[in-house]
Amino acid sequence: MGERFALTISGLEVRRGKRPVIEGLDLGIHAGKVTGLLGPSGCGKTTLLRSIVGVQRVHAGTVTVLGQPAGSKALRKRVAYDTQAASVYRDLTVEQNIAYFARVLGAPRGDVARVMKAVGLETSARQLAGGLSGGQEKRVSLAVALLGHPELIVLDEPTVGLDPVLRAELWDAFRAAAAAGATLIVSSHVMDEASRCDRLLLMRDGALLADTTPAELERSTGEHDAEAAFLAIVRGAAAGAGTAADPLSGRGTAAKADPAGAAALAHPADRPTTDEPRGPHGRHVA
């Protein structure tokens, strides 16, 4: 494909203790697009995102972000990261939090007001972050990730637990950032966010199941909603290995606690094209 990648990953391996979290993952993220990283809780999404922003200790493979090795000094102003739990100072006000990170990033002065407006917090500027609701606190954290117009914005479950109106507004903000040229990676375990993305990565048990687009996913699986499509892909992969397991839950019967089951599920997913003539995936990442 002639499309430009904002980041490429090859042969990524991450272990936690002896347990592999990600095994031999290859991936390219399209520049200027919003890519959704979907998968059940515990499937390795956060580990993958941490590897991209360069705070994860990796055991093998390369992660190249905007032409540089992930985590290198030159990237620290160009890449923004919002952790899954709101990473803000609870004993500072909304404005003080954002102003501090703006100074650390060397963002222009007016940026503080701009990002507060983008996440709809301009009226809470003087409230302590610790006194906000969970959703508001998460938005403060999100605002920090928008400071200084980063070229790559990595958001770990940014819209969890937010009301639908607000969620739509935040997605408008993501789209605006992408329209301005930024590349976004947005993780979620809520499948209904899939339709809002330009591209989709489906992940399970530390491996990519599919790298596709919402439209392609719907076409190849014949399912309208992403959750059903996800199920179809997992079942399709599992059928190849003759395994039937609770497909959606990372904590289910085929979770890491049961290595045999997990391996049976993971292997066909690693090489889906050979086992799966129907090919439910847009673009494989083998």
Q: Are 252 and 175 in contact (CB under 8 A)?
A: no
Q: How far is the CB of 78 from other proteins (least distance, A)?
A: 10
* Window 135-194: residues binding other proteins (CB under 8 A): 144
Q: Which stretch binds other proteins (CB under 8 A): 92-100, 181-189, 212-220, 260-268?
A: 92-100
Nearer residue to other proteins within complex by CB, 115 or 209: 115
Q: How far is the CB of 178 from other proteins (least distance, A)?
A: 20
Q: Are 112 and 132 in contact (CB under 8 A)?
A: no
Q: Are 137 and 168 in contact (CB under 8 A)?
A: no
Within 10 angstroms of residue 19's Cβ, the number of other Cβ atoms is: 9
* Window 208-227: residues binding other proteins (CB under 8 A): none
Q: How far is the CB of 144 from other proteins (least distance, A)?
A: 7
Nearest C-alpha neighbor of 108 from the set 140, 149, 75:
149
Nearer residue to other proteins within complex by CB, 60 or 244: 60
The residue written with tokens 């045999």 in the block is 260
Q: Does 256 bind other proteins (CB under 8 A)?
A: no
Q: Does 4 bind other proteins (CB under 8 A)?
A: no
Nearer residue to other proteins within complex by CB, 53 or 191: 53
CA 181, CA 177: separation in Å to the nearest integer? 7
Q: Which stretch binds other proteins (CB under 8 A): 85-93, 172-180, 253-261, 271-279?
A: 85-93
H or E element, residue 250? none
Name the residue type at position 260: A
Residues 6+ apart with CB under 8 A from 254: 205, 243, 245, 246, 247, 261, 262, 264, 265
Residues 6+ apart with CB under 8 A from 268: 237, 238, 240, 241, 275, 276
Q: Does 62 bind other proteins (CB under 8 A)?
A: no
Selected from 31, 66, 125, 128, the binder of other proteins by CB under 8 A is 128
Q: Does 125 bind other proteins (CB under 8 A)?
A: no
Q: Does 16 bind other proteins (CB under 8 A)?
A: yes
Task: Provide the binding-site residues for other proteins, judged by CB under 8 A.
Answer: 16, 50, 53-58, 71, 73, 76-77, 79-83, 85-92, 96, 100-101, 103-106, 128, 144
